[in-house]
Amino acid sequence: MTPEPSEPPESFGHRLRRARDTRGPLCVGIDPHAALLARWGLPDDPAGLERFTMTAVEALADRVAVLKPQSAFFERFGSRGIAVLEKAVTVARAAGALVLMDAKRGDIGSTMAGYAAAYLDKDAPLRSDALTVTPYLGYESLRPALDAAHAAGAGVFVVTLTSNPEGDEVQRAAVRGTPGGARTVAQTVLDHIAAENRGAAPFGSVGAVVGATLAEADADLAVGGPLLAPGIGAQGAAPADLPRVFGAALPQVLPSASRSVLAHGPDIARLRAVAEQLADDVRNVSS
pTM to 2 decimal places: 0.95
- Is 270's pLDDT higher than 80? yes
Backbone angles phi, psi at 256, to 5 degrees: -130, 130
Backbone angles phi, psi at 69, to 5 degrees: -70, 135
- Is 180's pLDDT higher than 70? no
User: Band of the pLDDT at 90, cuts 50, 70, 90?
Assistant: very high
Residues that are catalytic: 104
Sign for the pseudo-dihedral over CA of 7, 100, 138, 177: positive
Buried b (16+ CB within 10 A) or exposed e, 137-155: eebebbebbbebbbebbbb
User: Band of the pLDDT at 235, cuts 50, 70, 90?
Assistant: confident
Residues 88, 53 contacting (CB under 8 angstroms): yes
Q: Residue 89 carries which DSSP code?
A: H
Q: For the segment 121-172, what is each residue's pLDDT rounded down to a tens digit?
A: 999 999 999 999 999 999 999 999 999 999 999 999 999 999 888 999 999 9
Residues 106, 142 contacting (CB under 8 angstroms): yes
User: Band of the pLDDT at 179, cuts 50, 70, 90?
Assistant: low
Would you state the pLDDT for residue 234? 76
Would you give the distance in Å from CA 36 to the centre of its chain?
Answer: 21
User: Band of the pLDDT at 250, cuts 50, 70, 90?
Assistant: very high
35 CB neighbour count, 10 Å cutoff: 11
Q: For the segment 43-62, what is each residue's pLDDT rounded down to a tens digit?
A: 999 999 999 999 999 999 99
Q: For the segment 113-129, what is each residue's pLDDT rounded down to a tens digit?
A: 999 999 999 999 999 99
**Superfamily, domain 12-286:** Aldolase class I (3.20.20.70)
Mean pLDDT of the residues in the chain: 94
Residues 256, 282 contacting (CB under 8 angstroms): no
Rounded CA separation 270/276 (Å):
10
Residue 180, amino acid: G
H or E element, residue 254: strand 253-257
Rounded CA separation 261/271 (Å):
6
- Is 4's pLDDT higher than 60? no
- Is 228's pLDDT higher than 80? yes
244 φ/ψ sector (left φ>0, alpha ψ -120 to 50, else beta): alpha
